[in-house]
Chain A
Amino acid sequence: MSGECGATVVEFRNVSKRFGAVSAVRELSFAIERGALVTLLGPSGCGKTTTLRLIAGLEHADSGTIRIGGRDVTGLSATERDVSMVFQSYALFPHMTVGENVAYGLVVGGEPRERVRAKVGEVLAMVGLEGFEARLPSELSGGQQQRVAVARALVLEPQVLLFDEPLSNLDAKLRRRVRDEIRELQQRLGLTTVYVTHDQGEALAVSDRIIVMKNAAIAQEGTPRELYERPADLFVADFIGDANLVAAEIRRLEGEFAVVDVGGLELALPHRGFGAGPASVAIRPEALQLSTAAADGAHIRGSVSKAAYLGSHMEYSVESPLGSLFVVDRSVARPIRAGTAVSIRLAGHGVTLVRR
Chain B
Amino acid sequence: MTRTAALWLAVGWVGYALLPWYAIDGGFWGFDWFSGYPAELASAPGLLAGLTQGRIWLLPIALPLLAPVLVLRAERSDPRLAAVLVAAGALGFGYTLLQGFAIGLNGWSWDSFEALFGPLADRQFGMGYGALLVLAAFLFLFSHGLAARGLVGGDAFVVGSIALIVTLVVLFIFWPISRVLVSAVQDNAGHFAPALFLAKLLHHSVWGLDCFAGSLTCGVAWNSLVLAVLTGLGTTILGLAFALVVTRTGFRAKRTLRILTVLPIITPPFVIGLAVILLFGRSGAITTFLDWAIGIPPSRWVYGLPGVWFAQMLAFTPIAFLVLIGVAEGVSPAMEEAAQTLRADRWRVFTTVSLPLMRPGLANAFLLGFIESLADFGNPMVLGGNFDVLATEIFFAIVGAQHDQGRAAVLSIVLLAFTLSAFYAQRRWLGRRTYVTLTGKGDSGVHARLPERLTWLAYGLAVPWAALTAVIYGMIMFGGFVELWGLKHTLTLRHYIEAFSVEFTQHGILWSGAAWNSFWITLWISAVSAPLTAAVGMLTAYVLVRQRFAGKGAFEFGTMLSFAIPGTVIGVSYILAFNVPPIEITGTGVILVICFIFRNMPVGLRAGIAAMSQLDRSLDEASLTLGAGTFTTVRRVVLPLLKPAMVAALVFSFVRAMTAISAVIFLVSANYDMATSYIIGRVENGDFGLAISYSSVLILVMVVAILLIQAFVGERRLGRRVVGEMSLGGSAA
Contacts and interface: CB of A to CB of B under 8 A. Distances in A.
Given A56-B625, A95-B716, A108 B154 contact: no
Interface stretch (A80-88, A209-217, A223-231): A80-88
B619 A93 contact: yes
Given A79-B628, A108-B628, A95 B718 contact: yes
A58 B626 contact: no
A284 interface: no
Nearest to A105: B626
Contacts of A60: 150, 153-154
B632 interface: yes
A142 to B, nearest CB: 14
B86 to A, nearest CB: 16
A240 B7 CA distance: 55
A58 to B, nearest CB: 5
A59 to B, nearest CB: 8
A75 B619 contact: no
A78 B722 CA distance: 31
Contacts of B629: 79, 108
A104 B628 contact: yes
Contacts of B124: none
Q: Which of A79, A89, A95, A104 has the most CB of B within 10 A?
A: A79
Contacts of A153: 625-626
A314 interface: no
Given A93-B637, A136-B718, A87 B627 contact: no
B717 A136 contact: yes
Interface string A55-81: 011101000000000000001111101
Contact of A138 (B77, B154, B719): B719
B627 A91 contact: no
B618 A77 contact: no
Contacts of B622: 85, 87, 91-93, 152
A285 interface: no
A89 B616 contact: yes
B628 A138 contact: no
A139 B619 CA distance: 18
A152 B626 contact: yes
A104 B721 CA distance: 24
A77 B153 contact: yes
Given A108-B636, A109-B627, A137-B719, A91 B150 contact: no
A138 B641 CA distance: 14
Contact of A78 (B150, B621, B632, B719): B621
A139 B719 CA distance: 7
Contacts of B718: 94-95, 136, 138
A72 B484 CA distance: 81
Contact of A95 (B621, B630, B640): B640
Interface in B32-78: 77
B296 interface: no
Contacts of B630: 79
Interface residues of B, number: 30
Contacts of A95: 640-641, 716-718
A178 interface: no
B155 interface: yes
Given A77-B154, A91-B618, A139 B626 contact: no
A156 interface: yes
Contact of A75 (B77, B621, B623): B77
Q: Which of B77, B623, B721 has the most CB of A within 10 A?
A: B623
Contacts of B625: 56-58, 78, 81, 83-85, 153, 162
B624 interface: yes
Contacts of B623: 93, 104, 108
B720 interface: yes
Contacts of A108: 623, 626-629, 632, 636
A88 B717 contact: no
A79 B641 contact: no
Contacts of B618: 87-89, 91
B626 A84 contact: yes
Contacts of A156: 626-627
B637 A78 contact: no
Contacts of B721: 138
A278 to B, nearest CB: 48
Interface string A135-163: 01111000000000000110010000010
A36 B155 CA distance: 31
Interface string B608-626: 0000000010110111111
A109 to B, nearest CB: 5
Interface string B632-643: 100011001100
Q: Which of A75, A76, A83, A84 has the most CB of B within 10 A?
A: A75
A138 B637 CA distance: 16
Contact of B720 (A57, A77, A83, A139): A139
Nearest to B617: A91
A60 B640 CA distance: 28
A152 B153 CA distance: 24
Nearest to B158: A77
A178 B586 CA distance: 66
Contacts of A78: 621, 624-625
Nearest to A53: B621
B518 to A, nearest CB: 40
Contacts of B640: 95
A114 to B, nearest CB: 19
Interface in B140-160: 150, 153-155
A3 B153 CA distance: 29
A76 B629 CA distance: 12
Contacts of A75: 77, 150, 154
A191 B720 CA distance: 36
A277 to B, nearest CB: 50
B624 A58 contact: yes
A313 to B, nearest CB: 37
B627 A79 contact: yes
A76 B627 CA distance: 12
Contacts of A83: 625
Nearest to A87: B618
A77 B621 contact: no
Given A58-B624, A85-B625, A95-B641, A136 B719 contact: yes
Interface of B: 77, 150, 153-155, 616, 618-619, 621-630, 632, 636-637, 640-641, 716-722
12 contacts: A58-B625, A75-B154, A78-B624, A78-B625, A83-B625, A91-B616, A93-B641, A94-B716, A95-B640, A137-B719, A138-B719, A153-B626
The 5 closest A-B pairs by CB, nearest first: A138-B719, A105-B626, A91-B622, A91-B618, A78-B624
